[in-house]
Amino acid sequence: MLKNMMWGYRNIAIGILCLLVSVPAAIASDVDFSYPDLDGKIHKLSDYRGKWVVVNYWATWCPPCLEELPELEAFHDSHKDRDALVLGLNMEDIGLDRLRAFVQEHLVSYPVLQVGSHPQEVLGEVPGLPTTFLVSPGGKVVARQIGFIDGKSIQSFILNYNKEGGENP
């Protein structure tokens, strides 16, 4: 029975990997961007080298984006001081005060960056919202998820990526 359970967990992990690893080889190189947060501080992706970075493109009007906010917040809160963090890239033309109030109301503590409705897609195509990219500690995009994502899937991907010989955080 234990063997069957282990096989089941392995299949789940493989399914998550197949779902997440849809990144074209062209964007698997070092990438960088810089955007202001809600206080005007500039965040560069390269500032976070050495940690996994979950880059989540989202908007306040997007139902699946709102659904995943608590998941991303929990992941960020449990990893930010160790090996990973979340950057939320808000993809809409919204007033700063309105966005700030939304972020406070939804208890988002990870950096929210204003990128506007037509940002440069330096990490890869953003065909819909939410779209999440996972950037390795070495600065390479290693996964992209279009649609809802949860913290357990992100954590499983990172563990499996490292087990398969990827970079160490």
Other CB atoms within a 10 A radius of the CB of residue 112 amount to 23
The secondary structure of the chain, three-state, reads CHHHHHHHHHHHHHHHHHHHCCCCHHHCCECCCEEEECCCCEEEHHHHCCCEEEEEEECCCCHHHHHHHHHHHHHHHHHCCCCEEEEEEECCCCCHHHHHHHHHHCCCCCCEEECCCCCCCCCCCCCCCCEEEEECCCCEEEEEEECCCCHHHHHHHHHHHHHCCCCCC
Span between the terminal Cα atoms of the chain, in Å: 34
In order of start, what are the domains of the chain with their CATH numbers? 2-163 (3.40.30.10)
Task: Please tell me the pTM assigned to this model.
Answer: 0.82
pLDDT tens digits for the chain (169 residues)? 434 433 343 334 334 443 444 444 334 457 899 999 999 999 999 999 999 999 999 999 999 999 999 999 999 999 999 999 999 999 999 999 999 999 999 999 999 999 999 888 899 999 999 999 999 999 999 999 999 999 999 999 999 999 888 765 4
Distance from C-alpha of 17 to C-alpha of 91, rounded to nearest angstrom = 26
